[in-house]
Structure formats: C-alpha cells, structure tokens
A and B are shown apart, each in its own frame.
Chain A
Amino acid sequence: MRFKILATAVAALFVTAACNKSISDRTANLPPLSPADQDLNAGSWKTMLLTRPDTFAVAAPAATNSTGYLADLNELKGYQKNLTDAQLGAIKYWSAGGVLRWNEIMRTLVAKYNIPPYQNSDTSYPAPSSANPFAYPYFPFANPPYAARAYAYVSAAQYDALVACWYYKNLYKRPAPYKTDSTIKVYVTKTDLPSYPSEAAVLAGVTAEMMKLLFPDEIAAIQQKLLEQEQAAIASGAATRSDITAGEALGRQVAQAFTARGRADNAGKAIGTPTDWANLKTTAQAKNQLPWLSLETPGRPPMLPLFGKVKCFLFDSATLVSLRPGPPPSTGSDSMKNATSEVYAKIKSPTRDQMKLVQYWADGAGTFTPPGHWNAIAAEDFIKKNYSEVRWARNLALLNCAEMDAAVSCWDIKYYYFNPRPSQMNSEIKTLTGVPNFPSYVSGHSMFSGAAATILGHIVPERASAYMQMAQDATNSRFVGGIHYKVDCEVGMAVGKNIGNYAVLRATQDGAE
C-alpha cells in the first residue's frame, strides 16, 4: 500500500515534469505573404539614396525557352524532389516575408550587441573597434543611437534595392517558374509578379552586404541566412537560379552605395575624444550649469557625444539645428529643484503597475532598444496588412529613417545642454531600470516614440490614436521610472513628433500613396 502511494506520487511527478515547456515566437507560424496589391508600379517610387532605379544595370534575362532557363527549372525540380522537413521549415519561415524576417534578424543582432563594454583593470573603458570586431569588446556596441542608424541603413537600402528590383521586374516581365512550367509545385502564394530579379535574393544580398558596415562580426552567420533564403526561394517554386543571381548582385550593389554613405556620415567619429568629453563639461559650466556626470562606477565616458553630427536621411543639418528646443530649467533654479522633487515623490514607493510600465518600455541594455521596439510594434500591424515586399520595405524605411533622425536630433540636444539626470541631482532617487549613460534633456524614449507614432499613424491611420497612446505610455515610463524629469519627456515627445512629420511629408511625396 505504501509503495503504491509512493509509486503514484512519483508517477504524477514525472507526468508533470514531462509537460512541454517549449515556447514559441509570436511570428513563428505565419502563413505565406499574400499581398492584395503587388505594387507593380513601385519601380517609379522615390528612392532614399539612389538617384535612379536603374543606377545599377541588370542584364536582360534569358528567354524562358532557352536551354539555360530549362537547366534552371531542372535545378528547381531537383530540389523539390527531396525536400526535407528543415527545407520545408525554411520555405515556411521565409515565405512570411523577407523584409519581416530580416527585420527580426536585425532586432536579434541589436539585442545581441547592445551591452556596454566591461571596464579595463585601470578603471578606464575599452572602445569597440570596427577594425577588429572579433576581439572584446565586440564591435559594435549597438546602443540606441547606433541601433537606430543600423535599422535605418538596412531598411533604406532594402527599400531602394526593392524599388530597383521592381523596376527591372516590370521592364523584363519574366514570369515566375510556376507560370512557365505547370509541373512545378508551389509552396508560396501564386502571384502575377515577375520573378526576375528575385526580390528574395535582392533582400538577402542587400542585407548581407550591409553587415560589412554594421555588424562585421556577423558576416559569416548572415551569409548562411542568405543561402537559406535563396535556396528556399528556389525550392518553393518562386524563383530560378538566374532570378536569384541577378537579384543578389543588384542587392549588393545598392548596399555598397549605402555603406559608402555610412562610412562618411560622421557616425564613425561619434564616440569623440577625451578632449571633446572635457569640453562638454566646461561648456556647461561656462553657462553656469551643473554639468552631466556619469552615474556609473567607474565613470564611463558619455555615450556617442558627437552622434548629433551624423548626416540625417530626412532633413539637412540646418533643419537639425532648428529642431533644437529651448533650454531645460537652469540646474540652480527652483523649477529644477521642483522637477527633481517631483521625480523623487513618484519613485519613492513605486507600485507594481508603475514597475510594469517601466519594464515594458525600458528597452535598455541587452534589448533591441526603443527603435527596435517600435519596429516590433510596426511589424505586428504590417503583417495583418499583407503589404507587398516593396511596400513593407518602404514603410519600415520611413519608420527607421524617422527613428535614426530622431536619434541624431536627440543626441544633438542632449549634448548641447549636457543636463544632469534626476539621480545626479538627488542621489536618493533610485530607478526602476538602469540609468542610461548620457545627459537627461530630452528623453530619447520620448523622441523615438513621438516620431514613430507619428509616421506609423500616417501609414496605418486606423491605429493612429493607439500608437499615440503607446508613445505617451513610453514617455510616462521614463518619468515614473526615475530616469527623466517631466519636462524631458514632454519636450522630447514634441520634437519627436516634428521629426515624424518629416517622414510623413516624404511619405506623401514618394509616389506610393
């Protein structure tokens, strides 16, 4: 009897232990992308950087009755004869949308690289080096400004490359393999979109090539993703080898125009020098302001103090200066004292709801950053819209150029005023997430969110008020988390919306609406 009880108890335990604990991503099980409209005229949309859609020539494809094309079809049919579960899985994964999947991969890379370097033994800090990305600290440190720029370059390059792709698709009008040979099985949604050059390969090529600038440590891993996407495109029946080869070459050429821009956009100098860091302090003191101090121990140099000099996508440097708001309350003033007390009162005994709001929007070290969070929000809604690949790319390019330009403007403002954080003004102020290592005024979260909600509200008008509410929540989270004064959030939100409006202006003029 005793042993029966014991046996039953042990058995019950093992049954429970065997419960499946595996978790799955929100987008793990999407159906193939089925655009309502393939945007066949997208070859005429206004590009971000290229001056013309045919800047890079793509040779005319071989005729569909040529021996070369028949060999292409035989390769395709050969794959289809023996598709493994892994290959079917890859087809399913990529068929949900190449722009979506590459955006998710980008968010993964940002989260992977978004950790501040550990100090040297002498309490100084090492800086990542693009010349030697494999040595610790790994290049890059994908902090919010770096990440915002990386998302923007990849999205803008993907967009320009797909505009060029659509231009040639429309020029050559080569039908998809499943249209030329009815024996080919189709694992994606059949459309009338011409297959040359392949949009999947354009995306793979342009993104892989961008890694040389943005995540050089990952070139080899991303090359594997490229091969997986291209192989899936062929095996799914959507593209032939010649569609792929032409597409990848076009994508890489477009990316090279963007990497050339990126190497000259001042981001490489954004870290500044010890002299620059000292000047920020003396400049603030000359204005009778208490200068910002790193709250980390050992004190860490400010994050990318010259990022405000980076070349924007949506406006010029004179506009950047005009976007700069007036100063925050003087650090010696009563209104600064009151603003600090207001933060302290809010953070002294935080509620669980307050913590939840802060955590949800924190997007701090080790995460895909606030621009990444807005990409996730956008992607979830774009999935429901069934956009064509080129429209997906266009919409993410608008979002991410707004986010990058918000980062540039925000960093310009932060280092122009060099304003202390609440916890520097009053060390009793403890925070519900890590204090970022850069000046307080204005809130980066507020700028990113104001800009993102504005352009997303234009793209998905029925969600405009929901986006604005989310932006307001993100903004509030920084005040109730003890990270920012109220004024940082309010002004940051206003400037962010202004920047979002530059993206809206572009959206109304790019030929896609």
Chain B
Amino acid sequence: MVFLLSASLLRAQTDLDAIMMSKKNLCIGGSYMYSSWDHYWEGSFKRVNKNIGTMSTQMFGLMGTYGITKKLNVIAGAPYVTTHVTRGTLHDQHGIQDLSVWLKWLAVEQNVGNGVLSLYALGGGSIPLTNYIADYLPLAIGLQSKTLSGRLILDYQLGKFFTTAIGTYTWRSNIKIDRDAYYTTTLHMTNEVQMPDMTAVNVKMGYRSDRMILEATLANMTTRGGFDIRKNDMPFPSNRMNATMVGAHGKYNFKFVDGLSLEGGGSYTVAGRNVGQSTNFDAGVFYILDFSSKKKKK
C-alpha cells in the first residue's frame, strides 16, 4: 500500500475473515509480504520521484490465533519490517514494528434462506514494540501510534460461495517526534503530533470450502482528518493517507498434514492520497495445534 503499512495487510486471513479457531486450538504461522511503488500521490497529484526511485517494504510476520471458545478467539501478531529506496541518498530502515492483539467474537450465526449468515465483532489494539523512528517517511517502518480498533464482519455463505463485508474504526494516539517544531498547515511548536483516526471498509467475495478459499478483495482505508503533502515536500505521519486496493487471495489446507495450510495473494492500489501506489504480494504458512482433549478437525 502505503507509507503506513500496518500489520493488518499481513494478517489478511485472520482478523479480517469469517473463520474461527475451535476451542483450545492454536493456529501459528509466519508470513512474508513484499510491497513496492514508484508512483505516489502528493495530495491528489500523482508523481514519480527520481530521488526515491522505487520504494520497497518487506514484512516478516509471526502470528497466532487461539480458540478460547469456539466463539471467542484471540489473535496476536508482530512483524519485522525493512524498507529500501533504489535512488537518492536516504538511508534504509529496519526493525520490529508493532504488536497487535485482537479479540474476535462470533456474535451471530444463523441460517438465512439457503445460506448461513454470521456476524463477528472484534476489538483490537496495537502498540509499538520498539522505538523505531516514525518521522522519516517514506522509509519509516511504522508511525509509532498506539491504536484501538473496533470492527464488525458480516458474512453470508451460500453453498461454497461467500460474501463478506467488513467495517473498521481505528482510534490512533498522538505521537512524539524527535523535533521540537514542525509544519503541517501551520507551525506547531511542540514535539507532539495529533494523529487523525482511520476507517476502513473491505469487501470480499469468492469460494470457500473446508479445503480452500479463493477470493477477490476490495479494500478502502480513509484517514479521518490529516493534511496533504505539500508540493515537493516530504510525507509526514499525520498526513491524510487514503487508499483503495483491489486484490485476490487464496488459502489451501493440505490433506496430507492435518492442520497445515498455505496462503498467498496480491493487491494493487487503484486510487490514493498521500500514499504510494503500491503493488503487494504476500505468502504465509500456518499450522494448527490442537490442545483439546478430543482430537478433532477444525
């Protein structure tokens, strides 16, 4: 996506899907994501920058989902991130980014028509795990903001086909930067930066069986406030960063090893504001450990 790659992209199949872990099952996994762009939006002006060339971000994520009950899961994850630009003199960055934790509750599950309608309610938050630099965009690995999110997932499955709609509101804490003053649309004589909140909407459609999932995705994130990058200026953590992305994603549960799954996908930014027009690829491998007394399949 973006300057503000968060771990949410990486964990696309957990806190953003309509699937639950069974009670006392732990799904652990690792994933990798590669994101790059050479065009970006300065406000609404789309441009290239030969002093950046191509900007790339890699994320190596570790995550786990645990079934407290079959209707209440806890999800946690954290990535290691590296950034790089191919031109100009700006220095690469790397480091451990933010820990995110979600509670996911299957609130409603009932037959509607010939299909099953389910509603999930999620609450989550994230905190930076290290003191990485945020005021060094586009190369900063994160924004240092602590977040709290509320999310609703509405899913309808008819036979092997499904549609999911997801809405998220993310509250973001202010951050402190290394400078004593900075300019947004006026001069601020403080090291504290007011971080606007964000909303996101995702729509997914596709095929879902016990064996595999194939889906098309549409995602939009919108910053509720913030300001545009000025012409030929550098980006800043409190910019109004918006993006709309389309993509496809798949997941396969192996037959020969029970509990092992592979997943992967890609997405492309079709519209944006104060973000890079990124192309993203991700892949992950996950394994389910069953701690319940009776061995049973997910």
Residues of A near any B CB (own CB < 8 A): 2, 5-6, 9-10, 13, 16-17, 19, 21-27, 104, 107-108, 111-112, 115-118, 136, 295-298, 347, 350, 352, 355-356, 359-360, 362, 365-368, 373, 376, 423, 429-432, 434-435, 482
Contacts and interface: CB of A to CB of B under 8 A. Distances in A.
A449 B92 CA distance: 28
Contact of A365 (B88, B90, B234): B234
A434 B150 contact: no
Nearest to A348: B91
Given A430-B89, A430-B91, A365 B188 contact: no
Interface string B132-176: 110110000000000010100000000000000000010101100
B178 interface: yes
Nearest to A25: B189
Contact of A17 (B177, B183, B197): B197
A104 B187 contact: yes
B91 A431 contact: yes
Nearest to A109: B187
Nearest to B236: A366
Given A111-B183, A367-B182, A367-B183, A26 B91 contact: no
B91 A24 contact: no
Contacts of B132: 352
| 10 closest residue pairs by CB, A with B | A297-B50, A359-B178, A111-B183, A108-B187, A430-B91, A25-B189, A118-B232, A17-B171, A356-B178, A23-B192
B51 A359 contact: no
Given A118-B231, A366-B230, A367-B181, A13 B187 contact: no
A249 to B, nearest CB: 30
B234 A366 contact: yes
B217 interface: no
Nearest to B45: A118
Interface in B195-250: 195, 197, 230-234
B181 A350 contact: no
A365 B230 CA distance: 11
A356 B231 CA distance: 26
A279 B192 CA distance: 46
A169 to B, nearest CB: 31
Contacts of A297: 50-51, 87-88
A435 B89 contact: yes
5 contacts: A23-B193, A108-B183, A111-B187, A297-B88, A373-B181
Nearest to B103: A9
Of the candidates B133, B169, B173, the one having the most CB atoms from chain A within 10 angstroms of its own CB is B133
Contacts of A430: 89-92
Contacts, number: 125
B89 A423 contact: yes
B89 A366 contact: no
Nearest to A355: B133
Given A112-B183, A365-B233, A366-B230, A13 B178 contact: no
Nearest to A356: B178
Given A430-B91, A432-B91, A26 B189 contact: yes
B181 A434 contact: no
A21 B136 contact: no
Given A359-B133, A359-B135, A366 B181 contact: no
B230 A21 contact: no
B186 interface: yes
A184 to B, nearest CB: 33
Contacts of A5: 105
B231 A136 contact: yes
A25 B181 CA distance: 9
B51 A360 contact: no
Nearest to A377: B180
Given A23-B194, A25-B189, A116-B232, A13 B91 contact: no
B179 interface: yes
Contacts of B112: none
Contacts of B128: none
B121 to A, nearest CB: 6
Given A9-B123, A24-B190, A360-B180, A298 B50 contact: yes
Nearest to A372: B181
B194 A21 contact: yes
A60 B177 CA distance: 53
B293 interface: no
B148 A21 contact: no
A115 B233 contact: yes
Of the candidates B91, B131, B173, B188, the one having the most CB atoms from chain A within 10 angstroms of its own CB is B91
Contacts of A435: 89
A235 B195 CA distance: 37
Given A25-B188, A434-B90, A115 B193 contact: no
Given A13-B123, A431-B91, A352 B148 contact: no
Contact of B171 (A13, A295, A376): A13
Contact of B51 (A13, A296, A432): A296
Given A13-B169, A482-B89, 14 more contacts: A9-B123, A9-B150, A16-B148, A21-B173, A21-B195, A22-B194, A23-B190, A104-B187, A115-B233, A365-B233, A366-B233, A368-B181, A368-B183, A431-B91
B195 A115 contact: no
A432 to B, nearest CB: 5
Nearest to A114: B183
A104 B150 CA distance: 40
Given A13-B171, A23-B193, A355 B90 contact: no
A421 to B, nearest CB: 9
A474 to B, nearest CB: 13
Nearest to B52: A297
Of the candidates B88, B169, B174, the one having the most CB atoms from chain A within 10 angstroms of its own CB is B88
A368 B136 CA distance: 18
A376 B183 CA distance: 14
Given A6-B107, A117-B232, A376 B150 contact: no
Contact of A360 (B123, B178, B197): B178
B195 A13 contact: no
A430 B53 CA distance: 14
B177 A376 contact: no
Nearest to A138: B231
A282 B136 CA distance: 37
Contacts of B51: 296-297
B190 A25 contact: yes
Contacts of B190: 23-26
A365 B231 CA distance: 12
B179 to A, nearest CB: 6
Of the candidates B50, B51, B135, B189, the one having the most CB atoms from chain A within 10 angstroms of its own CB is B189
A338 to B, nearest CB: 21
Contacts of A23: 174, 188, 190, 192-194
